[in-house]
């Protein structure tokens, strides 16, 4: 959810509340009518184009889009669990591109949920149910094989919490996926990407003989700044070529690591367990 620190341009008719993790604002994008920016303590969290949910501002959300697009033939409905809700950018995209999809969203901040419901309601007919709950608890209580796709974009005060960063957590995620199901997560980190390496190793171990790949902002990989990476895992082979094609067309440079390249990237990294897991580093 947290994207690199960029301040939104304030405009009229913004909305402000005090949420669980700080001051929440919904600010209209003065350059694009119908679009809104969600901020927490001044940091951009989500961007929503209510007129066209296919317009995705943040690079890591566009990587999520590629996973959604490649998950099944175009237009086929999916059953999706979103951990972390924000302004419901990705659920809106799924509803627009795969009508009939069943989506469940878990967001810890009830104030944020109510604020988005009131000011940025979902399109009529979208089967998206949002609940205030703990992401780890919901995953643990979910029956086996329920979802085609699980998306993790969980942050607490700008950091990915340890509860959704362990081998045990990822094992539960693998359990609740249907055959052929996919898991994708947003991870924030800074140079030298120690946390990202550890998360990639943890996820690969939890999915056993499955497949894992990493997409990361080139500026982060080059050691220039804090940024976003996207981890993807499945029990079977991933459509890595499709992810790579999508990333190659992006206005922001992204790098994909898979197979031997990912193995070299994670060399020496130890998987996190519930006993050793930590929150992601602050930026």
Report the catalytic residues. Answer: 153
40 CB neighbour count, 10 Å cutoff: 23
How does 136-172 read in b/e, with b if 16+ C-beta sit within 10 Å? bebbeebeeebbbbbbbbbbbebbbbbbbbbbbbbeb
> CA 188 to CA 155: how far, in whole Å?
10
Output phi, psi for 210, to 5 deg. Answer: -80, -155
Distances (CA, A) of 29 to 32, 36, 37, 93, 122: 5, 5, 7, 19, 18
> CA 112 to CA 25: how far, in whole Å?
9
Query: Roughly what angle, to the nearest 10 degrees, separates helices 194-206 and 167-176?
Result: 50
Residue 136 is classified by DSSP as H
Output phi, psi for 207, to 5 deg. Answer: -90, 10
Chain Cα centroid distance, residue 186: 4
Q: What is the chain's alpha carbon radius of gyration, rounded to the nearest angstrom?
A: 18
């Amino acid at each position: 959810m947290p994207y690199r620190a960029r301040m939104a341009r304030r405009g009229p008719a913004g909305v402000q509340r005090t949420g669980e993790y700080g001051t929440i604002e919904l600010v209209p994008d003065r350059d694009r009518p119908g679009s809104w920016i969600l901020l927490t303590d001044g940091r951009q969290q989500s961007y929503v184009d209510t007129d066209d949910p296919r317009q995705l501002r943040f690079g890591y959300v566009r990587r999520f889009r590629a996973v959604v697009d490649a998950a099944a033939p175009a237009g086929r409905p999916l059953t999706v669990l979103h951990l972390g809700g924000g302004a419901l950018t990705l659920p809106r995209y799924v509803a627009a591109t795969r009508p009939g999809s069943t989506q469940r969203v878990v967001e810890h901040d009830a104030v944020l949920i109510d604020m988005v419901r009131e000011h940025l309601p979902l399109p009529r007919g979208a089967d998206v149910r949002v609940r205030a709950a703990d992401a780890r608890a919901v995953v643990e209580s979910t029956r086996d094989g329920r979802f085609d796709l699980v998306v993790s974009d969980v942050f607490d005060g700008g950091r990915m919490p340890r509860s959704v960063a362990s081998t045990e957590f990822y094992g539960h995620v693998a359990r609740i996926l249907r055959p052929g199901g996919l898991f994708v997560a947003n991870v924030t980190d800074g140079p030298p990407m120690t946390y990202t390496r550890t998360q990639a190793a943890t996820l690969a171990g939890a999915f056993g003989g499955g497949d894992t790949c990493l997409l990361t902002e080139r500026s982060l990989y080059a050691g220039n700044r804090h940024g976003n990476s996207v981890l993807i895992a499945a029990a079977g082979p991933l459509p890595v070529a499709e992810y790579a094609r999508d990333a190659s067309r992006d206005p922001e440079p992204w790098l994909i690591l898979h197979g031997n390249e990912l193995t070299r990237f994670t060399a020496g990294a130890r998987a996190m367990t519930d006993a050793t897991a930590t929150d992601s580093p602050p930026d």
